[in-house]
Each structure stands twice: as structure tokens, then as C-alpha cells.
């Protein structure tokens, strides 16, 4: 029987699996949990390791027994050295379970900024003034051009939602061809064209050597006046200082779920900007997301035990893209 070690905080395990992990893996696997801090390497004596937020990074040499790591969250960078995959350790991750949750937050942020709803809420809460606030006219998703950078799982879920709402969608992704973009309801365009023609620019790309700081001062300057930047992906995709210059000027607005420093420091300028909607990196914090992630983890382990192909396996060639 396969030994499965659960390297998760108890609260996260409960959110992912409830109290049903043993039953869902029986009779194929035996579930093992930490007995205490006195045995920090017990996880390496298992065949399968379940990891997630809060799990400790694997050593460069985890030994011979561990064969599979199933990560219940997103990126495995910082947790699993890439060399382990090249040496035969199999890795799967459950980021697909978070896609709908993050995409829905991104759509909420998009609509809120198009309608200036975060400012409306602050004004009404602070002034209790219904008629005299001068809110003006907003925009709808319908007939608004939305530029999506990255056809990731989240990017595709976001695309589906904004296309259904009637947006014209431009897409930039070097790993996609025009026919695939068309099937998603989008038009594949170069990055510069996307930026210059989009009212909303939504980031859904992984952080790689090519995408790190892909939006700097020159790129941000291409976005039309009044444009909205939505980032629920990674802060490293853009030059924060360059974005802050644009936001201070009032030329652009933004909705941000990710930041260079998290939690956001109390003295950060982000708190003071009137044209920015902030959320605290909570894109995947829904019950639906957690239980979907847990279901993926269980299914991957059951498939491994049955000798079937994994559905969410990470390979050395895709390690940098699974962020």
C-alpha cells in the first residue's frame, strides 16, 4: 500500500479535504501525518507527499523512496528544485482548481474599476451623500476592449467570462496560435498593439525570464488615457515604480491583488492612491476553489496508484510555466 504523507497545516487540510481524505484514498493508500517536530524528515519516508501553502521546501536530495509530490496550490517554485524533476521525481499541482475563483475576482475588479465602484463605496460610506457626489458615467464590459496577457488557466477562465459579457478581447500569448485564440473568442495580437488598443489590460501570465517586468514605463505609456490595469497574477510581471508614476498622474487606474511585498506594508503608498482598488492576494480564497483543489489532489494520487497518467503533471519543460 502506498504511503501518503500530508505536509499541510491542519486548517488547510480541512479546507481541502474535510475529514474525508483517508476514505477517498482507501484502499489504495495509507495516509500519514506529522507526529511532531521531532521527526522533520518523516515526509521523505513516504511514497507520495501532499504539499501546499506553508509546506517546507524539499532538499536537493530527498532520498530514494519519495516518488510523487502533489502540490495542492499553484507554483512549485521555491518548494521543489527543478533538478529533482530531471532526476525522476514526479510532480503534479492543483492550480487548475483555483482558475475559476481567480478569474471571477479579476472580472469583479474589472467591472468595479470600469464603474469606479470602489470610489463610489468610499464616498457614500464617508459622506452618506446620495446625490451630490458627482459619480459620473462608467463603462460596461459589453463593447469595451479588454486585453488579456497570458492564456493561462486563469486567463482562459477570465476570457470566457468577458467574452460572454460582450467584450472585444485582444490576447497576447507567444505559446498560442491564431486559431486557438479564435476558439477562445479573442484576437491574437502583438503586445504593443494590445496595450495601445485596450481599455482594460488584465495580466494572467506566469513569471519567466521573458515576462519579468514585461510592462515597464514604455509599455504602460501605450495604454490609452483612462485605461485600467488588472493584476491577479504576479507583481513581477510589471515595473511597480513605473506603474505608480502613471497612477499618481491619474492617467491610468488599477485593481491589484498581488504586490512586491506581501502583506502590503502599512506605510505603502498603495493605501493612499484614490484610483486603485486593492485586495490582499485572495483570488483563490473560496470554498469552491479549495474543494476543487482537494479533489484534484485525490484524483491524481488515485491515478498514480492505479498506474494511470497524471492529469496535471509538471515536467522539466513546463516547470517555469506552471506559476
Those residues whose C-beta lies under 8 Å from the C-beta of residue 263, and which sit 6 or more positions away, are 280
How many Å apart are CA 216 and CA 213, to the nearest integer?
Answer: 6
Catalytic hit among 281, 291, 302, 303:
281
Catalytic hit among 234, 246, 290, 312:
234
Closest CA to 3 of 33, 26, 42, 32: 32
What SS3 state is found at 237? helix
Those residues whose C-beta lies under 8 Å from the C-beta of residue 100, and which sit 6 or more positions away, are 157, 288, 289, 292
Catalytic hit among 143, 262, 269, 288:
262
Closest CA to 315 of 88, 47, 152, 151: 88
C-alpha pair distances (Å), 91 with each of 29, 107, 114, 144:
17, 31, 40, 40
Q: Is there a catalytic annotation at residue 77?
A: no
Concatenated DSSP letters of 92-151: EE-GGGGHHHHHHHHHHHHHHHHTTHHHHHHHHHHH--SSSS-------STT-EEEEE--
HSE of 285, CA atoms in CB hemisphere, 13 A = 8
Q: Is there a catalytic annotation at residue 281?
A: yes
Specify whether the backbone of 128 is left (phi greater than 0), alpha (psi in -120 to 50) or beta: left
How many Å apart are CA 235 and CA 156, to the nearest integer?
Answer: 19
What SS3 state is found at 252? coil
Q: Is there a catalytic annotation at residue 262?
A: yes
Catalytic residues: 234, 262, 281
Amino acid at each position: 500500500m502506498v504511503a501518503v504523507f500530508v505536509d499541510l497545516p491542519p486548517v488547510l487540510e480541512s479546507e481541502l479535504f474535510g475529514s474525508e481524505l483517508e476514505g477517498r484514498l482507501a484502499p489504495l493508500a495509507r495516509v500519514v501525518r506529522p507526529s511532531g517536530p521531532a521527526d522533520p524528515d518523516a515526509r521523505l519516508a513516504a511514497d507520495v507527499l501532499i504539499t501546499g501553502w506553508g509546506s517546507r521546501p524539499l532538499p536537493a536530495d530527498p532520498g530514494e523512496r519519495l516518488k510523487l509530490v502533489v502540490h495542492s496550490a499553484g507554483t512549485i517554485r521555491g518548494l521543489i528544485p527543478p533538478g529533482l524533476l530531471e532526476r525522476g521525481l514526479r510532480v503534479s499541482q492543483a492550480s487548475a482548481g483555483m482558475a475559476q475563483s481567480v478569474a471571477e475576482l479579476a472580472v469583479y475588479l474589472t467591472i468595479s474599476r470600469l464603474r469606479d465602484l470602489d470610489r463610489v463605496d468610499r464616498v457614500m460610506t464617508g459622506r452618506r451623500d446620495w446625490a451630490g457626489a458627482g459619480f459620473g458615467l462608467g463603462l460596461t464590459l459589453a463593447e469595451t476592449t479588454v486585453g488579456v496577457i497570458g492564456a493561462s488557466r486563469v486567463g482562459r477562465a477570465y476570457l470566457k467570462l468577458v467574452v460572454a459579457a460582450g467584450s472585444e478581447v485582444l490576447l497576447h500569448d507567444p505559446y498560442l496560435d491564431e486559431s486557438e485564440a479564435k476558439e477562445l473568442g479573442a484576437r491574437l495580437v502583438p503586445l504593443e498593439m494590445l496595450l495601445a488598443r485596450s481599455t482594460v489590460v488584465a495580466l494572467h501570465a506566469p513569471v519567466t525570464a521573458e515576462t519579468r517586468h514585461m510592462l515597464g514605463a514604455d509599455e504602460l505609456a501605450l495604454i490609452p488615457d483612462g485605461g485600467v490595469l488588472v493584476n491577479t497574477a504576479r507583481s513581477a510581471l510589471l515595473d511597480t515604480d513605473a506603474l505608480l508614476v502613471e497612477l499618481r498622474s491619474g492617467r491610468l487606474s488599477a485593481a491589484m491583488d498581488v504586490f512586491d511585498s506581501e502583506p502590503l506594508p502599512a506605510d505603502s503608498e498603495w493605501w493612499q492612491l484614490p484610483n486603485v482598488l486593492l485586495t490582499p492576494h485572495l483570488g483563490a480564497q473560496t470554498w469552491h476553489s479549495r474543494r476543487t483543489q482537494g479533489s484534484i489532489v485525490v484524483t491524481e494520487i488515485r491515478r498514480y496508484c492505479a498506474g494511470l497518467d497524471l492529469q496535471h503533471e509538471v515536467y522539466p519543460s513546463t516547470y517555469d510555466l506552471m506559476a
